């Protein structure tokens, strides 16, 4: 019976840990905005490197089995990091940090929408332009958000 409790506790612990994202949406009030921006910027850099590597490998005259395997790995990696940006943008900023009535609310939402769209476009393409635009939109949002993140309208 004790083994059953241990097994159940282990399963519940693993399931709970696996379901948590970058910040768990528990209203604890602990946020790491600077850390979050660092993570998002790292995702963009990874996408850019993956897209460049894909272009380089695909540009070869003939592809070895190793080349084909690397194409798959770089593609999966690029898409994974783009999806992380989409998820973290929605789960961290949209769900928890951007509040209705805050200064520049509509502008923040618009830039976040662009970040999500260009993350999606970065998944669909290996060209540099979507990633460059994504990087620029993230930089714009960072400036807008950090300059106004704690300002709120009082009505």
Q: What is the pLDDT of residues 19-28, one digit of tens each?
A: 344 445 555 5
Structural domain contains residue 153: no
In this prediction, residues 58-87 reach a mean pLDDT of: 97
Predicted TM-score (pTM) of the model is 0.77
Number of compact structural domains in the chain: 1
The domain that holds 39 is classified in CATH as: 1.20.120
- Which of 141, 130, 113, 124 shows the shortest CA–CA distance to 40? 141
Structure confidence by residue, pLDDT tens digits, 56-70: 999 999 999 999 999
Structural domain contains residue 42: yes
Bridge partners of 152, per DSSP, are: 102
Percentage of the chain modeled with pLDDT above 70: 75
Structural domain range at position 106: 35-148
Structural domain contains residue 59: yes
Structural domain contains residue 30: no
Structural domain contains residue 66: yes
**pLDDT at residue 140 above 80?**
yes
Q: What per-residue confidence (pLDDT) applies to 32?
A: 83
Structural domain contains residue 29: no
């Amino acid at each position: 019976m004790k083994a059953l409790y241990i097994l159940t506790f282990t399963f519940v612990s693993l399931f709970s840990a696996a379901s948590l994202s970058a910040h768990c949406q528990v209203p604890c009030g602990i946020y790491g905005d600077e850390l979050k921006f660092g993570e998002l910027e790292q995702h963009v850099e990874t996408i850019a490197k993956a897209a460049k590597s894909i272009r380089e490998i695909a540009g070869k005259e003939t592809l070895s089995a190793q080349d084909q395997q690397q194409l798959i790995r770089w593609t999966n990696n690029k898409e994974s990091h783009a999806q992380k940006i989409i998820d973290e943008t929605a789960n961290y900023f949209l769900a928890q940090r951007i509040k209705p009535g805050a200064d520049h609310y509509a502008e923040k939402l618009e830039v976040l929408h662009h970040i999500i769209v260009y993350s999606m476009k970065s998944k669909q393409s290996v060209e540099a332009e979507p990633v460059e635009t994504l990087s620029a939109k993230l930089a714009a949002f960072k400036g807008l958000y950090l300059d106004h993140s704690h300002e709120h309208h009082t009505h």
